[in-house]
Structure 1
Amino acid sequence: MEKMICRILLLLILTSCVSGSFVVNVTQTSYQAEENHNITLEWTFTTNPDRSIKTLNILCGHNTGQNTSVLYRVHEGVEVSESQDAKFSGRVQSDKDALREGRIRLQVSRLRTDDSGLYLCEVNTDDGFSVGRCTASITAADDQLQPQRPTTKPPAESGGMTGFYILMGVFSVIQVIVESRA
């Protein structure tokens, strides 16, 4: 069983590295804000009007380099709020209308300094699999607020990505098990 899980995780990681036709883009690669304010994270992906939303799987997470938290999850077109990490409970709102248009818009409210870090959004459909990345830097209320401005370079990969890929793999393994029993 362990060997099978390792193979599935490896397949997921390799698929994310080589999938070229289906891409998840970020509208802004870097965010700066002050605690207790709000930000809206946004990713885009190509939609196929002939496809059912039931083939849509999304997993958005927050990685601090030390741990990974689920920010938002959609499984087969249905939002799964139970998957959300408690630290984001009641602070993340999604725009369901934008989702139908191929945009994932998540407003994170009442920001905390520990919301700083890497945000990843994995989208998996019948058309492909891809991950978009952006970073956020949240400063304490006493610090001077820096204006939000996009950067042109994507955020650097960090060693903390391993936790996110393991989390994605676990969700995928659960999905395979559930589908095989159905």
Structure 2
Amino acid sequence: MRSLHFPKVYREKMIFLILQLLFLTSCVSGTFVVNVAQTSHQAEENQNITLEWTFSSRTDTNFRSISIYCEMFTDGRPYVLFHLYKGDELPESQDPQFAGRVQWDKDVLTEGRLTLHVSRLRTSDSGFYVCAIRTPDGSNSSICWLDVTAAAQPESWRNNWINVRLTLLYFFAVVFVSFVSFSYYCFCNFFNSSFVSICVCFLVPIFVSSFCTALFLRHRHDT
């Protein structure tokens, strides 16, 4: 997994490069504002996340008058996240990395809200996310950061099988020791013992081994 902890100077240069590359930044209006709802996000792989931007909007804003271009920047390379041109989504512009994983809320767009839902996150999704928005009132952009970490790996099947074998080995060792000890005792007293005593000689090792195994399993669970 590649490291994405960029030095501050490098981040500033990257942000400057992003703003230069976006095609919508050529006609930025001082009265048109684009804000990001959250500047930094933290998530684990395979989780879902929502990225949201807000922008200046009027009640009479036409859906067909809005164009949006969103990219993810990592390792100095851009990946197209979402592209909307005059109300029409252009999925062919989207990078294959995000294919089928990005959904957006069309109903709130004319209210000045861009909401992108990214599903099944990957560690490679870590990076800067920039969305540039153009309306008849002007254009502008805003940036946020997403850090996706690897999910905690469950205990492997191999480790589970080793635990099972250790438990069985411990169980049979206790059974063997108990059986040998009580068998020796029973053998010495067999001819003078009652039927109940003989049964006890065979049952006690089973109970002892079961009890010791239960203690062993509880100790392993606690540790």
- Is the TM-score greater than 0.5? yes
Give RMSD over aligned pairs. Answer: 2.2
Greater CA radius of gyration, 1 or 2?
Answer: 2
Tell me, which stretches of 5 or more residues in structure 2 are unaligned? 1-20, 154-223
Structure 1: how far apart are the matches of 2:104 and 2:22? 30
Matched ranges for 1:1-182 at <5 A: 13=25, 15-16=27-28, 19-142=29-152
Return the offset for 1:65.
3.5
Distance 1:10 1:136, change over 3 A: closer
Aligned residues: 134
Report 1 or 2 for greater relative contact order, CA contacts < 8 Å, sequence distance ≥ 6.
1
Distance 1:142 1:95, change over 3 A: same
Q: How much identity, in percent, do the aligned residues show?
A: 52
Structure 2: how far apart are the matches of 1:12 and 1:94? 20
Return the offset for 1:50.
2.3
SS in structure 2 opposite 1:142? coil
Letter in structure 1 aligned against 2:108: A
Give TM-score scaled by structure 2 length: 0.56
Tell me, which stretches of 5 or more residues in structure 1 are unaligned? 1-8, 144-182
Cα distance per residue 1:64-99 (max 9 Å; x no partner): 032101111110111111111110001101011121
Distance 1:139 1:58, change over 3 A: same
Cα distance per residue 1:95-121 (max 9 Å; x no partner): 111212111111111000110000000
SS in structure 1 opposite 2:97? helix
Give TM-score scaled by structure 1 length: 0.68
Structure 1: how far apart are the matches of 2:136 and 2:110? 15
Return the offset for 1:14.
5.5
Structure 1: how far apart are the matches of 2:36 and 2:105? 16
Higher strand proportion:
1
Structure 2: how far apart are the matches of 1:57 and 1:126? 10
Cα distance per residue 1:30-50 (max 9 Å; x no partner): 000000001100000111222
Letter in structure 1 aligned against 2:69: L
Higher helix proportion:
2
Letter in structure 1 aligned against 2:44: E
